[in-house]
Amino acid sequence: DAKTTQPNSMESNEEEPVHLPCNHSTISGTDYIHWYRQLPSQGPEYVIHGLTSNVNNRMASLAIAEDRKSSTLILHRATLRDAAVYYCILRGITGGTSYGKLTFGQGTILTVHP
Amino acid sequence: DARVTQTPRHKVTEMGQEVTMRCQPILGHNTVFWYRQTMMQGLELLAYFRNRAPLDDSGMPKDRFSAEMPDATLATLKIQPSEPRDSAVYFCASGLERRGNNEQFFGPGTRLTVL
Protein backbone atom coordinates (compact mmCIF):
# COMPACT_ATOMS: atom_id res chain seq x y z
CA ASP A 1 0.00 0.00 0.00
CA ALA A 2 1.19 3.51 -0.76
CA LYS A 3 2.07 5.39 2.41
CA THR A 4 0.92 8.73 3.72
CA THR A 5 2.81 11.08 6.02
CA GLN A 6 1.04 13.47 8.37
CA PRO A 7 2.22 15.71 11.20
CA ASN A 8 1.71 14.11 14.59
CA SER A 9 -0.25 17.04 15.96
CA MET A 10 -1.62 20.47 15.12
CA GLU A 11 -3.34 23.19 17.07
CA SER A 12 -5.94 25.72 16.11
CA ASN A 13 -8.14 28.34 17.65
CA GLU A 14 -11.89 28.11 17.52
CA GLU A 15 -13.54 29.80 14.52
CA GLU A 16 -10.27 29.86 12.57
CA PRO A 17 -9.52 27.80 9.46
CA VAL A 18 -7.39 24.68 9.81
CA HIS A 19 -5.23 23.20 7.07
CA LEU A 20 -4.21 19.60 7.72
CA PRO A 21 -1.48 18.43 5.33
CA CYS A 22 -0.81 14.95 4.01
CA ASN A 23 2.09 13.79 1.86
CA HIS A 24 1.67 10.76 -0.39
CA SER A 25 4.57 10.90 -2.81
CA THR A 26 4.18 7.25 -3.90
CA ILE A 27 0.51 7.57 -4.80
CA SER A 28 -0.52 5.65 -7.89
CA GLY A 29 -2.77 6.99 -10.61
CA THR A 30 -5.68 4.90 -9.39
CA ASP A 31 -5.49 5.74 -5.68
CA TYR A 32 -8.25 7.77 -4.11
CA ILE A 33 -7.39 10.05 -1.19
CA HIS A 34 -9.69 9.53 1.78
CA TRP A 35 -9.91 11.41 5.05
CA TYR A 36 -11.45 10.02 8.19
CA ARG A 37 -11.50 11.44 11.67
CA GLN A 38 -11.92 9.89 15.08
CA LEU A 39 -13.49 11.89 17.86
CA PRO A 40 -12.60 10.95 21.44
CA SER A 41 -14.10 7.62 22.51
CA GLN A 42 -15.79 7.07 19.14
CA GLY A 43 -15.19 5.06 16.02
CA PRO A 44 -13.70 6.77 12.98
CA GLU A 45 -16.03 8.66 10.67
CA TYR A 46 -15.72 9.52 7.00
CA VAL A 47 -14.90 13.13 6.20
CA ILE A 48 -14.20 13.45 2.48
CA HIS A 49 -12.46 11.81 -0.45
CA GLY A 50 -11.13 12.79 -3.86
CA LEU A 51 -9.13 11.64 -6.85
CA THR A 52 -7.75 14.62 -8.76
CA SER A 53 -10.02 17.63 -8.37
CA ASN A 54 -10.62 19.62 -5.24
CA VAL A 55 -13.72 18.55 -3.35
CA ASN A 56 -16.11 20.28 -0.99
CA ASN A 57 -18.76 18.89 1.29
CA ARG A 58 -20.60 20.10 4.37
CA MET A 59 -17.80 19.00 6.67
CA ALA A 60 -14.65 20.11 4.89
CA SER A 61 -12.77 20.80 1.69
CA LEU A 62 -10.04 18.69 0.14
CA ALA A 63 -7.35 20.39 -1.88
CA ILE A 64 -5.26 18.02 -4.01
CA ALA A 65 -1.94 19.09 -5.48
CA GLU A 66 -1.62 19.00 -9.24
CA ASP A 67 0.94 16.18 -9.09
CA ARG A 68 -1.24 14.41 -6.47
CA LYS A 69 1.74 13.88 -4.20
CA SER A 70 0.14 15.84 -1.42
CA SER A 71 -3.25 16.99 -0.25
CA THR A 72 -4.71 19.27 2.39
CA LEU A 73 -7.87 18.86 4.40
CA ILE A 74 -9.40 22.24 5.14
CA LEU A 75 -11.78 22.91 7.99
CA HIS A 76 -13.09 26.36 7.23
CA ARG A 77 -14.05 27.33 10.79
CA ALA A 78 -12.82 25.01 13.48
CA THR A 79 -15.10 24.30 16.40
CA LEU A 80 -14.35 22.53 19.64
CA ARG A 81 -16.21 19.52 18.23
CA ASP A 82 -13.59 19.23 15.48
CA ALA A 83 -10.94 18.18 17.99
CA ALA A 84 -10.07 14.68 16.81
CA VAL A 85 -7.45 12.49 15.16
CA TYR A 86 -7.51 13.02 11.40
CA TYR A 87 -6.40 10.20 9.14
CA CYS A 88 -5.31 10.57 5.52
CA ILE A 89 -5.63 7.25 3.68
CA LEU A 90 -5.02 6.09 0.13
CA ARG A 91 -7.37 3.54 -1.38
CA GLY A 92 -6.99 1.84 -4.74
CA ILE A 93 -9.90 1.51 -7.13
CA THR A 94 -8.86 -1.77 -8.65
CA GLY A 95 -10.82 -4.85 -7.79
CA GLY A 96 -9.78 -7.86 -5.87
CA THR A 97 -9.42 -8.62 -2.24
CA SER A 98 -7.74 -5.34 -1.31
CA TYR A 99 -10.27 -3.07 -2.99
CA GLY A 100 -12.18 -1.97 0.05
CA LYS A 101 -9.38 -1.92 2.57
CA LEU A 102 -8.42 1.20 4.46
CA THR A 103 -5.00 1.20 6.08
CA PHE A 104 -4.92 3.71 8.92
CA GLY A 105 -1.67 5.41 9.89
CA GLN A 106 -1.08 7.36 13.09
CA GLY A 107 -2.96 10.44 11.89
CA THR A 108 -2.80 14.04 13.09
CA ILE A 109 -4.14 14.95 16.51
CA LEU A 110 -5.96 18.25 16.15
CA THR A 111 -6.41 20.37 19.26
CA VAL A 112 -8.85 23.27 19.07
CA HIS A 113 -8.50 26.04 21.63
CA PRO A 114 -11.51 28.11 22.72
CA ASP B 1 -30.66 7.19 11.12
CA ALA B 2 -28.97 3.90 10.14
CA ARG B 3 -26.03 2.93 12.32
CA VAL B 4 -23.69 0.04 12.90
CA THR B 5 -24.38 -1.49 16.28
CA GLN B 6 -21.97 -3.51 18.37
CA THR B 7 -22.48 -5.60 21.47
CA PRO B 8 -21.29 -5.69 24.12
CA ARG B 9 -19.94 -2.18 24.51
CA HIS B 10 -17.64 -3.25 27.31
CA LYS B 11 -16.33 -6.67 28.26
CA VAL B 12 -14.03 -7.68 31.10
CA THR B 13 -12.94 -11.27 31.16
CA GLU B 14 -10.20 -13.48 32.49
CA MET B 15 -7.38 -14.94 30.50
CA GLY B 16 -8.36 -18.19 28.83
CA GLN B 17 -12.05 -17.36 28.51
CA GLU B 18 -13.90 -17.22 25.21
CA VAL B 19 -15.04 -13.80 24.03
CA THR B 20 -17.63 -13.19 21.34
CA MET B 21 -18.25 -9.73 19.92
CA ARG B 22 -21.24 -9.03 17.69
CA CYS B 23 -21.91 -6.49 15.03
CA GLN B 24 -25.04 -5.56 13.12
CA PRO B 25 -24.06 -3.82 9.88
CA ILE B 26 -26.21 -1.21 8.24
CA LEU B 27 -28.98 -2.83 6.21
CA GLY B 28 -28.05 -3.04 2.54
CA HIS B 29 -24.31 -2.76 3.05
CA ASN B 30 -22.29 -5.51 1.37
CA THR B 31 -18.95 -5.14 3.17
CA VAL B 32 -18.07 -5.64 6.82
CA PHE B 33 -14.76 -4.93 8.50
CA TRP B 34 -13.32 -5.74 11.91
CA TYR B 35 -10.62 -3.45 13.30
CA ARG B 36 -8.66 -3.47 16.54
CA GLN B 37 -7.29 -0.31 18.14
CA THR B 38 -4.59 -0.10 20.76
CA MET B 39 -2.39 2.77 21.85
CA MET B 40 0.72 1.02 20.59
CA GLN B 41 -0.50 -0.25 17.21
CA GLY B 42 -3.27 2.17 16.33
CA LEU B 43 -6.09 0.93 14.11
CA GLU B 44 -5.42 -2.45 12.53
CA LEU B 45 -7.65 -4.30 10.10
CA LEU B 46 -8.37 -7.82 11.32
CA ALA B 47 -10.91 -9.13 8.81
CA TYR B 48 -12.89 -8.03 5.79
CA PHE B 49 -16.04 -9.54 4.30
CA ARG B 50 -17.72 -8.83 1.02
CA ASN B 51 -21.21 -10.24 0.46
CA ARG B 52 -20.67 -12.34 3.61
CA ALA B 53 -17.60 -14.05 2.14
CA PRO B 54 -14.30 -13.57 3.98
CA LEU B 55 -11.88 -11.75 1.68
CA ASP B 56 -8.98 -10.91 3.89
CA ASP B 57 -8.19 -12.01 7.41
CA SER B 58 -4.44 -11.68 7.16
CA GLY B 59 -4.39 -9.27 10.09
CA MET B 60 -5.99 -11.75 12.44
CA PRO B 61 -4.10 -14.21 14.69
CA LYS B 62 -5.47 -17.42 13.21
CA ASP B 63 -4.85 -19.65 16.18
CA ARG B 64 -7.23 -17.85 18.49
CA PHE B 65 -9.36 -15.44 16.46
CA SER B 66 -12.21 -16.25 14.13
CA ALA B 67 -14.63 -14.03 12.25
CA GLU B 68 -17.88 -15.09 10.64
CA MET B 69 -21.04 -13.70 9.08
CA PRO B 70 -23.84 -16.18 9.81
CA ASP B 71 -26.21 -13.95 7.89
CA ALA B 72 -26.30 -10.49 6.34
CA THR B 73 -27.43 -8.87 9.58
CA LEU B 74 -24.81 -10.32 11.91
CA ALA B 75 -21.03 -10.44 12.01
CA THR B 76 -19.15 -12.05 14.87
CA LEU B 77 -15.58 -11.91 16.09
CA LYS B 78 -14.55 -14.62 18.50
CA ILE B 79 -11.41 -14.98 20.58
CA GLN B 80 -10.69 -18.35 22.16
CA PRO B 81 -8.75 -18.47 24.40
CA SER B 82 -8.36 -14.79 25.22
CA GLU B 83 -5.06 -13.34 26.42
CA PRO B 84 -4.20 -10.05 28.15
CA ARG B 85 -2.56 -8.78 24.95
CA ASP B 86 -5.99 -8.94 23.27
CA SER B 87 -7.14 -6.02 25.42
CA ALA B 88 -8.17 -3.32 22.96
CA VAL B 89 -11.14 -1.58 21.42
CA TYR B 90 -12.65 -3.62 18.61
CA PHE B 91 -14.54 -1.73 15.91
CA CYS B 92 -16.87 -3.11 13.32
CA ALA B 93 -17.55 -1.12 10.17
CA SER B 94 -19.82 -1.67 7.20
CA GLY B 95 -20.04 -0.12 3.77
CA LEU B 96 -21.55 -0.33 0.32
CA GLU B 97 -18.69 -1.07 -1.99
CA ARG B 98 -18.74 0.78 -5.28
CA ARG B 99 -16.21 2.32 -7.62
CA GLY B 100 -14.78 5.58 -6.39
CA ASN B 101 -16.00 5.42 -2.85
CA ASN B 102 -16.20 2.87 -0.19
CA GLU B 103 -17.21 4.97 2.77
CA GLN B 104 -17.05 2.86 5.88
CA PHE B 105 -19.45 3.45 8.73
CA PHE B 106 -18.00 2.51 12.07
CA GLY B 107 -19.78 1.23 15.14
CA PRO B 108 -19.12 2.53 18.65
CA GLY B 109 -16.69 -0.28 19.43
CA THR B 110 -16.36 -2.99 22.06
CA ARG B 111 -13.81 -2.23 24.74
CA LEU B 112 -12.28 -5.55 25.78
CA THR B 113 -10.19 -6.02 28.89
CA VAL B 114 -8.58 -9.39 29.47
CA LEU B 115 -7.21 -9.82 32.98
Residue-wise pLDDT for A14-60, tens only, equals 999 999 999 999 998 888 899 999 999 999 999 999 999 999 999 99
In this complex, which of B56, B99, B104 lies closest to A97 when CB atoms are compared? B56
Do residues B114 and B83 make contact, with C-beta atoms less than 8 angstroms apart? yes
Size of interface A-B (CB pairs under 8 A): 60
Chain B positions touching A46 (Cβ under 8 A) are 103-105
Confidence label for A98 from pLDDT (cuts 50, 70 and 90): low
Q: What is the mean pLDDT of each run of 10 residues along chain B (115 residues)?
A: 94 98 95 95 92 88 94 96 97 84 90 98
Chain B positions touching A99 (Cβ under 8 A) are 97, 102
Kindly tell me if the per-residue pLDDT of A66 is higher than 70: yes
CB atoms within 10 A of CB A15: 11
In this complex, which of A42, A102, A106 lies closest to B42 when CB atoms are compared? A106
Q: With CB atoms and an 8 Å threshold, state whether A42 touches B108.
A: yes
In this prediction, residues A4-20 reach a mean pLDDT of 97
3-state DSSP assignment of residue A105: coil
H or E segment and range at residue A78: none
| Ranges of H-type helices in B43-114 | none
Q: What's the CA gap between B10 and A114, in Å, rounded?
A: 32
Chain B positions touching A98 (Cβ under 8 A) are 56
Q: With CB atoms and an 8 Å threshold, state whether B102 touches A97.
A: no
Do residues B63 and B12 make contact, with C-beta atoms less than 8 angstroms apart? no
| pLDDT score at A1 | 58
In this prediction, residues A85-99 reach a mean pLDDT of 75
| pLDDT score at B81 | 97
